[in-house]
């Protein structure tokens, strides 16, 4: 077992099951778990990848619980903050409504999109993959401050760049090997971009992400049995 960041340092064939299990462990806790929880510090280093390719989530020290009976958010009392690189815009500029559980879910969705970007970069499609990098690697230092992240994410409204190969229709038409993987990367890029919206309310919901990824996984299953 190792963390997802370590896993991403090795190239691998794109496996949508990894994304599905990642969703189930990361975002499904805010949908099905009772009481629902939001992690608040999602990053590749906090996701453990088991030998069978499934995921487990670590470091719940900042997690918040939603008490349905009172519609309140149980926020742990500590001085820790999340990892700045993965903070959503509303967390960086302190505009987030801390009294609404949906606010925390939406911040987790933003971080989930960044993790999907990390996974996609390392996917081996037709013998091609990108070097492993952290989100915003080319925009901020290795240990950015909140002010540095706020400038990039909130003021300049920048997001990680998506490699051209992820949405290259030319590859789909001319390459028989890796055709599905290209389509999967196209779908992933659409999902992650909708997770990154500056307006938190405009981001994909956890349920919408679940449906999109489930359809993608079903397409892969059909491909393998065809």
Question: What positions carry a catalytic annotation?
Answer: 41
* Closest listed residue to residue 42, CA positions, set 116, 99, 98: 116
Burial of 168 (0-12, 13-18, 19+ CB in 10 A): middle
CA 76, 78, 79, 80 dihedral sign is negative
Helix (H/G/I), strand (E/B), else coil: 14 = coil
User: How far separated are the first and last CA of the chain, in Å rounded?
Assistant: 33
Partners of residue 125 on adjacent β-strands: 128
Spatial strand order of the sheet with 2-3 comes to 2-3, 47-49, 55-57
**Which letter does DSSP use for residue 64 in this model?**
E
H or E element at residue 55? strand 55-57
């Amino acid at each position: 077992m190792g963390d997802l960041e370590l896993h991403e340092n090795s190239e691998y064939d794109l496996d949508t099951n990894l994304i599905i299990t990642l969703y189930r462990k990361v975002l499904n806790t805010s949908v099905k778990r009772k009481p629902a929880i939001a992690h608040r510090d999602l990053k590749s280093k906090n996701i453990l990848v088991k030998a069978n390719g499934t995921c487990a989530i670590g470091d719940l020290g900042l997690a918040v619980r939603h008490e349905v009976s009172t519609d309140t958010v149980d926020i742990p009392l500590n001085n820790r903050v999340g990892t700045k690189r993965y903070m959503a815009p509303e967390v960086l500029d302190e505009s987030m409504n801390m009294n609404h559980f949906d606010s925390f879910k939406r911040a987790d969705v933003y971080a989930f999109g960044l993790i999907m970007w990390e996974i996609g970069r390392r996917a081996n499609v037709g013998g091609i993959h990108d070097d492993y990098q952290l989100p915003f690697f080319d925009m901020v230092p290795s240990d950015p401050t909140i002010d540095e992240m706020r400038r990039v994410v909130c003021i300049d409204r920048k997001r990680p760049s998506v490699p051209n190969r992820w949405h290259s229709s030319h590859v789909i038409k001319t390459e028989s090997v890796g055709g599905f993987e290209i389509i999967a990367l196209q779908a992933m890029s659409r999902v992650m971009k909708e997770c990154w919206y500056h307006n938190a309310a405009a981001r994909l919901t956890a349920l919408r992400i679940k449906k999109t990824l489930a359809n993608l996984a079903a397409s892969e299953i059909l491909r393998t049995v065809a």
